[in-house]
């Protein structure tokens, strides 16, 4: 008899978690992971593998979990994915592997992301966060510009092919958006550091405070003996609305706000003296994961009310359903089918936001 619903995952209660930056879901226990793995139909065509951007053999790793072969499960995942602890937490599985799960056509899909996270965490807990076996050196050198998820994944895959890999990172710590963009309560920084350490044990060299284009150019890298260059520099500068009042004090891009909160540790004030001002009422414009991260971060930094303003309806919110659900639990208010047309100030400080109904 197939269970219709996913095995629930234990979480911090909303009234507690809005006062801290600890991770919200606690993760599956061994028994819970086995129960969830038993829901997998082991489809011969495996649409979940087609839905996975890196092509993890999902039925095989889930079968290992079902039979409590957890070491074999994480080894299967790492054949295709260098960042399983990260992907198990923040990948949009509902629009990828879980979105095409055959079981999901009638019932809730198999919780593939939660099982991936379980395997990665189990391996770390049991000292089995083993290094990949590296083939003989090819004699080729590759420079990877940027140490976000794309750059780190490329570095891991290239290293597994036997190439020498050097990662050049602009900031003082590697990780890119994983470190500065995603809040601690959704992706703990120690998890990111653990994944990066695994890549370094594989032989990936990571250089920080390196501005490619200023300190060294791509042409110079090629002249220095690199055979190829992978450019993974991220999404770039934030986009603004182009409405009056955007230059008022108190108006932040989500990029700046989350960078101050995450990379510069504003959430640990006064231990870290990072300037970030959160008003009594905070409005976040947008409906994606970044907007949800900023809105939920504002609550944890002391905002009494946090509001999402989005120009479309709830069914069109691009954020993960889990993030929207968590936001609602925490008291985030959603003003949908609305769009800001002006930020209103007083003495140079933001005082109000004027919106139109769509």
Give me the torsion for CA of 41, 43, 47, 50, rounded to 10°.
110
Token pair listed for 65: 């979990």
> Residue 169 and residue 152: Cα distance in Å, rounded?
11
Other CB atoms within 10 A of residue 142 CB: 21
pLDDT (tens digit, 9 = 90+) per residue, 89-110?
Answer: 999 999 999 999 999 999 999 9
Q: Can you give the pLDDT at residue 337?
A: 97
Q: Can you give the pLDDT at residue 92?
A: 92
Does residue 81 contact residue 160 with C-beta atoms inside 8 Å? no
Residues of the chain with pLDDT under 50: none
Q: Can you give the pLDDT at residue 272?
A: 62
pLDDT (tens digit, 9 = 90+) per residue, 29-43?
Answer: 999 999 999 999 999
Using alpha carbons, list the distances in angstroms from residue 230 to 55, 162, 170, 333: 21, 16, 15, 41
> Residue 302 and residue 267: Cα distance in Å, rounded?
10
Listing DSSP states for 187-242 in one string gives S-HHHHHHHHHHHHHTT-EEE-S--BTTTB-HHHHHHTT-SEEEE---S-S-----
Listing DSSP states for 33-84 in one string gives HHHHHTT----SS-HHHHHSTT---HHHHHHHHHTT-HHHHHHHHHTT-S-H
> Residue 80 and residue 291: Cα distance in Å, rounded?
30
Q: Can you give the pLDDT at residue 131?
A: 60
Give the list of residues 6+ apart from residue 224 with CB closer than 8 angstroms, or none. Answer: none
Same fold: 14-125 with 254-357: no
Token pair listed for 285: 């414009």
Fold of 14-125: Fumarate Reductase Iron-sulfur Protein; Chain B, domain 2 (1.10.1060)
Q: Can you give the pLDDT at residue 133?
A: 74
Other CB atoms within 10 A of residue 350 CB: 19
Q: Say yes or no: domain 141-231 is CATH 3.50.50.60.
A: yes
Cα-Cα-Cα-Cα dihedral sign, residues 74, 76, 79, 81: negative
Fold of 254-357: FAD/NAD(P)-binding domain (3.50.50)
Domain ranges of the chain: 14-125, 141-231, 254-357
What's the whole-model pTM score?
Answer: 0.91
């Amino acid at each position: 008899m197939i269970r219709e619903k996913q095995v629930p995952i234990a979480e911090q209660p909303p009234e507690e978690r809005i006062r801290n930056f600890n991770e919200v879901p606690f993760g599956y226990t061994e028994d819970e992971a086995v129960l969830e793995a038993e829901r997998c139909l082991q489809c011969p065509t495996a649409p979940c593998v087609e839905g996975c951007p890196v092509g993890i053999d999902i039925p095989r790793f889930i079968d290992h979990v079902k039979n409590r072969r957890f070491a074999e499960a994480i080894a299967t995942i790492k054949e295709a994915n260098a960042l399983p602890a990260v992907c198990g937490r923040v990948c949009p599985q509902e629009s990828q592997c879980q979105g095409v799960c055959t079981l999901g056509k009638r019932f809730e899909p198999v919780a593939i992301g939660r099982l991936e996270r379980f395997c990665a965490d189990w391996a770390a807990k049991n000292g089995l966060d083993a290094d990949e076996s590296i083939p003989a050196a090819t004699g080729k050198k590759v420079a990877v510009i940027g140490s976000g998820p794309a750059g780190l994944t490329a570095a891991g895959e290239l290293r597994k092919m036997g190439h020498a890999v050097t990662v050049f990172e602009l900031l003082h710590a590697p990780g890119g958006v994983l470190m500065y963009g995603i809040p601690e309560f959704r992706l703990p920084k120690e998890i990111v550091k653990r994944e990066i350490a695994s890549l370094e044990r594989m032989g990936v060299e990571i250089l920080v405070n390196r501005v490619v284009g200023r300190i060294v150019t791509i042409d110079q890298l090629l002249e220095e003996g690199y055979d190829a260059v992978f450019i993974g520099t991220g999404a770039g500068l934030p986009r603004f609305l182009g409405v009056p009042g955007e230059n008022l004090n108190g108006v932040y891009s989500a990029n700046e706000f989350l960078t101050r909160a995450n990379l510069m540790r504003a959430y640990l004030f006064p231990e870290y003296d990072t300037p970030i001002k959160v008003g009594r009422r905070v409005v976040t414009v947008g409906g994606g994961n970044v907007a949800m991260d900023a809105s939920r971060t504002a609550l944890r930094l002391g905002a009494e009310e946090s509001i999402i303003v989005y120009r479309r309806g709830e069914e069109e919110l691009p954020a993960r359903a889990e993030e929207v659900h968590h936001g609602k639990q925490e008291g985030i208010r959603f003003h949908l089918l609305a769009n800001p047309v002006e930020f209103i100030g007083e003495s140079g400080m933001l005082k109000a936001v004027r919106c139109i109904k769509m």
